Structure 1
Amino acid sequence: MSHSALRASAEPEPAVIKAAQETNRALSGALGEIENYIEKGTPAFLRTSLALFAGGFATFALLYCVQPMMPVLSQTYSLTAAQSSLVLSIATIMMACGLLVTGPISDAIGRKPIMVASLILAALFTLGSAVMPSWHGVLAMRALVGLSLSGLAAVGMTYLSEEIHPQHLGLSMGLYISGNAIGGMSGRLITGVLVDFVSWHAAIGILGALALVAALVFWRILPESRNFRPTQLNVRQLADGFASHLRDAGLPWLFLEAFLLMGAFVTLFNYIGYRLLADPYHLSQSVVGVLSLVYLVGIYSSAWVGSLADRLGRRKVLWAVIVLMLSGLLLTFASPLPLIVAGMLLFTFGFFAAHSVASSWIGRRALKAKGQASSIYLFCYYLGSSVAGTTGGVFWHHFGWTGVGLFIAALLVAAVLVALHLARLAVLPRSIPAPSATRA
């Protein structure tokens, strides 16, 4: 064979060269998309974590600031415990309804604009509730607060699942939920203590001003989305996305888990104050407000257990932390105050850990319409808060703390069974991560 023939035979065919070039371009594109993720340890990760922390703080401070004041509102407006719980339940039910709208809207127009508008409007409506003279006016403002807050609640988890590298998503989600914990704690603590010294109107006004500052910080430091891809908003698309989520083997069970977990959590904190203000404890409103410091364990557990779930797997962790919630609940049946507080600590630790695991599972399991999947999860989450939170007042009225505790226990037993079912699900196949689709 001649030298030229050997050289010709050694050279690749043009078709082979073209195929190799196309493969390289595809791999480069995929790698480029992977590089768009925010990595742990970078300035962008710090800014994102701080911004979502501030957003979570404001959201839950505004949502739950009224919870420790429920006994005060009962006295002021001559309300039963169940009626007084409406000041929280009406906000959570409106938030739940808003979640079904704001999530899909964010899929069309973007994540950050929705979240910024959400926080600013909620702070302004909270300031409005501080000047309402009537009970019905307060409820109207609280409804608008809940509707406004649905923007960040629906989109925050989706933003993280799109922008944060999958290896660090559990940690990032845990830090976001830590902000939720501090917000929920601070809202309860600030108003719970202040109402012993100023009017409840002034207490809410102070919190609204703090939330407005947090909203402006959020607006300033949150990075713009890099991996967001807008999708056209139409009814058919929403229906298809809803149907695909309900057909999934795991998502409907995670939606149910959200209802059960949040229903149990809010019910306990709605009525534990009534118990501790009454005989034989007779604690002051300030001391009951200070007990909101138990939320500090949620700040730790959400981040730590979220990171643990990244290593061990969500199916191995979720049921265990719900059992921890149930153990804490059982301690609250005891009479000594230290045991009750210890039970509240365990219960809170387990709840924030469970919510961190379940919410990050949504982002990894939904293969499309991620904003809608997060919205449905949170719709069920806040629906549980509204339904179970108010139903617990009926149990309190007829059976006292024993009835409330047994009601919560039933919710948690069901939550454990759901978690065990989720643990048996087949693992979805993994693929090259891309911001346009989260992995299972």
Structure 2
Amino acid sequence: MDKASPRLIEAGTPAFRRTTLALAAAGFSTFAVLYGVQPLLPVFADEFHVSPAESSLALSLPCAMLALALLVVSPLSEVWGRRPVMVASLFASAALTLVAVLIPSWHGFLALRALTGLAASGLPAVAMAYLSEEMHGRAIGLSMGLLIGGNALGGMIGRLIAGIIADHASWRWGLGTIGVLALGAAVAFLLSLPESQRFSPNRMRWSDVPGTFGQHFRDPGLPWLFAEAFLLMGGFVSVYNYIGFRLLDPPFDLSQTAIGAIFVIYLFGTFSSALTGEIASRLGRRRVLWLAILLGLAGITMTLSDRLWLIILGIVVVTVSFFGAHSVASSWIGRRALRDRAQASSVYLCLYYLGSSVLGTAGGWFFAHSGWTGVAAFFACLYGLALIIALRLSRLPPLVPAES
């Protein structure tokens, strides 16, 4: 095949293995760096003498920076190239994590966390664009699944490591360990990821960029799907942000290690995402989305119990609900957006991370004033709105014949 038409990467080839290894490592690094602080929020509240809502800024600020930067980084990767942007993102976010653990003040630490989120923005949307360009149609589903698996695994292991090490040493050692692992993942990515073969740099006119985003808000369905991302992620993150505060106190008195172990529940989310996607492909997205959200409302009710096993079961149900609903909503974006799909995905991800940031912090206000009952009520309101939107979407006429 001539150089003008390079071959797409097929499943089972050495190039496929190198690519999936690299992007799984990248997803692991990015999400460990971002979410490794989540089980440490009670520790931050004690050490820096801040409220639960203020401690959640260690997670909310980087998510907010990542969300906003996504809208800029995606167009920039069209000019600079996918691989250089991702390499710079991984090394910068790992380095900033290592520097952050050396900062003694709370506000200095938050500033480094915000910069970490800015650096991490070079991975999520750009990795998806890289795969869509380089992978053969028969291989892209598997490669995308491995990328998402790396994301989930990184978030889970990052939380586990931070929680366990914080219990036996300090949170600085825990987060520093994550930084070292992220640096190793960045090196693995650099050495493994093949150079782009099908990418052609574009000359970007910034005046054209707003129009490529704005067109999606004129669609009758996409703005509601963007809203779903904001509401679903906001409620989900609020549960995980503040459940540690509840379980550290009497009558549960769990250790920091046990709190970190709760994040193993994310494995249920990984399985539910694939399962819900399969069900949606058979029954239709508009029939499955509202059911997944309704399941989350059932789960949050379970967490109001004083029995630890029922609380854990409730968190499992909430997790299954979120990952299932998110997989349906995010896949629906590609069916509704017939042009500039990368920009549509960027808007969805922007609202997704803004939900984590804004609503995740707002949940701390409810916890401070009404304890876990307040957080559960906040979650119920968010998911109640998401349910209304899902029911509205279920009555939306299909945009294309294949959409369901």
Q: Scaled by the length of structure 1, what TM-score is found?
A: 0.84
The match for 2:57 is 86
The answer (yes or no) to whether the contact 1:174–1:302 under 8 Å persists in 2 is no
CA contact (8 A) 1:170 1:310 kept: no
Give yes or no for the alignment of 1:269 onto 2:240: yes
5 Å matches for 1:374-413? Answer: 374-413=345-384
* TM-superposed deviation, 1:346: 1.6
Task: Quote the offset at 1:226 in angstroms.
Answer: 4.4
Stretch moving more, 196-205 or 399-408: 196-205
Aligned partner of 2:89 in structure 1 is 118
Q: Give me the CA root mean square deviation.
A: 2.7
Q: 1:358 and 2:329 equivalent?
A: yes
Asked whether 1:136 is paired with 2:93, we answer: no
Alignment-derived partner of residue 206 in structure 1: 177
Report the secondary structure of 2:311's partner residue: helix
Shift of 1:274: 0.4
CA displacement 1:124-172 (0-9 Å, x = unmatched): 1000101111111111110111001111123233333444455765554
Q: Which residue of 2 aligns with 1:218?
A: 189
Q: Which amino acid aligns with 1:86?
A: L
Structure 1 residues 325 and 145 mapped into 2: Cα distance closer, same or farther (>3 Å)? same
The answer to whether the Cα contact below 8 Å between 2:335 and 2:400 also exists between their aligned partners in 1 is no
CA contact (8 A) 2:60 2:356 kept: yes
Counterpart amino acid of 1:232?
A: R
For the structure 1 residues 45 and 366, does the alpha-carbon distance in structure 2 shift closer, same or farther, using more than 3 Å as the test?
farther
Q: Once the two structures are superposed, what CA deviation does each residue of 1:391-439 show, in whole Å capped at 9, x if it has no partner? A: 10110011111110010111112222222333333333479xxxxxxx9
- Confirm or deny: 8 A CA contact 1:169 1:360 kept in the other structure: no
Q: Is the 8 A contact 2:228 2:386 kept in 1?
A: yes
Structure 2 counterparts to residues 148-187 of structure 1, below 5 A: 148-164=119-135, 172-187=143-158
Tell me the CA shift for residue 220 of structure 1: 2.7
Q: TM-score, normalised by structure 2?
A: 0.91
Instruction: Give the C-alpha shift of residue 71 in structure 1.
Output: 0.8
**Counterpart mapping for 1:25-424 below 5 A:** 38-164=9-135, 172-424=143-395
Ranges in structure 1 where 5+ consecutive residues have no aligned partner: 1-31, 432-438
CA shift, 1:70, in A, is 0.9
Match of 1:21 in 2: none
Partner SS state of residue 146, structure 1 = helix
Other-structure match for 1:14: none
Output the amino acid matched with 2:34: L
The 1-side partners of 2:401 and 2:14 are apart by: 29
Question: C-alpha distance in 2, partners of 1:138/1:211?
Answer: 18
Separation (CA, whole Å) in 2 of partners of 1:333 and 1:39:
49
> 1:38 Cα deviation (Å)?
4.7
Is the contact between residue 177 and residue 356 of structure 1 (CA under 8 Å) also seen in structure 2? no
Structure 2 Cα separation of the partners of residues 213 and 282 of structure 1: 35
Helix, strand or coil: the match of 2:121?
Answer: helix
Distance 1:128 1:113, change over 3 A: same
The 2-side partners of 1:166 and 1:327 are apart by: 38
Structure 2: 5+ residue stretches without partners: none
CA gap of 1:70–1:251, structure 2 versus 1, over 3 A, is: same
How many residue pairs get aligned? The number is: 403
Which letter does structure 1 place at the counterpart of 2:352? Answer: Y
- 1:361 partner SS: helix
Partner Cα separation in structure 2 for residue 353 and residue 173 of structure 1: 16
Shift in alpha-carbon separation, 1:168–1:253, aligned structure 2, 3 A: farther
Report the Cα distance in structure 2 between the residues aligned to 1:197 and 1:67, rounded to whole angstroms: 17
How far apart, CA to CA, are the structure 2 residues paired with 1:236 and 1:413?
Answer: 38
The separation in 1 between residues aligned to 2:34 and 2:332, in whole angstroms, is 24
